């Protein structure tokens, strides 16, 4: 096995315990530093990358959550850019999906909808290849001792995918309803990828309640589609070089189990959005419009509303509305919650936020209820320091 392959989104019942230090949620100032200086960017991009009440700082993990068992320092935008990740270019700019095995209509997500979602999410053309039968490839299998269901060794799928990426493809992603495992000592894995080779494999098997012996509810297909969309864009994000996000609640957060995965939003945070924009160069407004259309068509009204709110915010300046006026017009659109606990977090962080602004300046703005003004001070200071 090539241990350079990233093992993603895994929950193992065999975890003995973690010796890593306890994860401490980042401060708002640390989140702003992760986004990086935006002062030289066009207004729409500045607003697209500015956090507000649409985003929440990642919380402390529960006992069995991803960050409780995996020590991750976090990848800032600057870290990402310095790593020089693979990027689409004029000759390689398509995402390919390859169905592996059977996709029974009654318990599988629609491949066409997954392709449409990926196209809207990444702003690239997505094509679906002809499905491959399991018997056509040499794949190691086993019976899981907990579920008593067949599993496929994910590394074998990656081996078969390597070298099969079409000439115009940026990445090739196998999707399957078969359960996966990455190593004999692991229980299962949601997905595994080889970013350097541009290939990955992702399983939707455990998103079916019947997998665990449960009943499929009336909204089963909608739940399955949402879960499948989430894991697909998360794993494709890794193929763009994005590591797990530890700054905001984000689709790029790691997940150790289904409940944790279900709690993740479908959107990327400002840090990860800036990474994707750096690699792809999409128009954020057009991207949100495409996503909004998808959410409306598939009945994901909560996501459609979130996108509509975000789109209204980032395009407000185009209509002649100044950032200050837009913020004053909607007092509910703030960086983070205005609860006392959030205010105290901001206050505690200002001592180390920046030497170029005064702590009292920010505290005063928070006391006045003007979180936007406090954010502006921090953003401007970060911009001056990083230039």
Q: In 10 A of CB 209, how many CB atoms?
A: 16
Backbone angles phi, psi at 284, to 5 degrees: -55, -40
Give burial (CB, 10 Å; 0-12/13-18/19+) of 174.
buried
| Residue of 30, 178, 235, 260 marked active site | 235
pLDDT (0 to 100) of residue 13: 30
Gyration radius of the chain over CA positions: 21
- 234-271 per-position pLDDT tens digit: 999 999 999 999 999 999 999 888 889 999 999 999 99
- The better pLDDT of the pair 64, 128 is held by 128
Residues 278, 280: Cα–Cα separation, whole Å: 6
- 37-78 per-position pLDDT tens digit: 999 999 999 999 999 889 999 999 999 899 998 888 899 999
Structural domains in the chain plus CATH codes: 6-24+61-282 (3.40.390.10), 25-59+322-387 (no CATH)
Closest CA to 265 of 297, 239, 291, 293: 291
Residues 36, 29: Cα–Cα separation, whole Å: 11
Residues 374, 365: Cα–Cα separation, whole Å: 6
- The better pLDDT of the pair 351, 52 is held by 52
- 267-285 per-position pLDDT tens digit: 999 999 999 999 999 999 9
**382 in active site:** no
The reported pTM is 0.78
């Amino acid at each position: 096995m090539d241990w350079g392959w990233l093992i993603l989104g895994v929950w193992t019942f065999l975890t003995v315990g973690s010796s890593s230090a306890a994860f401490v949620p980042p401060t708002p100032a640390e989140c702003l530093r992760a986004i990086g200086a935006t002062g030289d960017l066009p207004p729409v991009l500045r607003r697209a990358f500015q956090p507000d009440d649409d985003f929440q700082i990642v919380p402390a993990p529960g006992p069995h959550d991803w960050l409780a068992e995996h020590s991750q320092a976090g990848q800032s935008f600057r870290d990402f850019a310095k790593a020089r990740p693979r990027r689409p270019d004029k000759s390689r700019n398509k995402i390919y999906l390859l169905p592996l095995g059977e996709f029974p209509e009654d318990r599988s997500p629609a491949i066409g909808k997954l392709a449409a979602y990926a196209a809207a999410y990444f702003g690239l053309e997505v094509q679906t290849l002809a499905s491959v039968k399991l018997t056509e490839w040499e794949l190691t299998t086993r019976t899981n001792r907990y579920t008593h269901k067949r599993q496929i060794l994910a590394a074998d799928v990656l081996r078969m995918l390597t070298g099969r990426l079409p000439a115009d493809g940026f990445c090739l992603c196998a999707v399957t309803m078969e359960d996966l495992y990455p190593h004999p000592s692991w229980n299962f894995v949601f997905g595994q990828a080889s970013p350097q080779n541009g290939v990955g494999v992702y399983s939707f098997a455990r998103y079916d309640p019947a997998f665990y012996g449960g009943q499929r509810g009336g909204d089963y297909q909608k739940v399955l589609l949402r879960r499948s969309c989430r894991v697909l864009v998360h794993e494709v994000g890794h193929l763009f070089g994005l590591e797990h996000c530890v700054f905001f609640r984000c689709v790029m957060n790691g997940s150790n189990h289904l409940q944790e995965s279900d709690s993740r939003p479908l959107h990327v945070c400002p840090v990860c959005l800036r990474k994707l924009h750096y690699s792809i160069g999409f128009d954020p407004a057009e991207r949100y419009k495409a996503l909004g259309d998808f959410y409306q068509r598939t009945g994901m009204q909560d996501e459609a509303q979130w996108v509509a709110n975000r789109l209204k915010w980032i395009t407000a300046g185009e209509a002649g509305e100044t950032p200050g006026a837009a913020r004053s017009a909607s007092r509910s659109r703030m960086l983070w919650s205005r609860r006392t606990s959030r205010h105290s977090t901001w206050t505690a962080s200002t001592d180390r936020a920046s030497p170029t602004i005064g702590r009292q300046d920010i505290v005063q703005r928070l006391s006045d209820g003007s979180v936007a003004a406090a954010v502006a001070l921090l953003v401007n200071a970060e911009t001056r320091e990083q230039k």
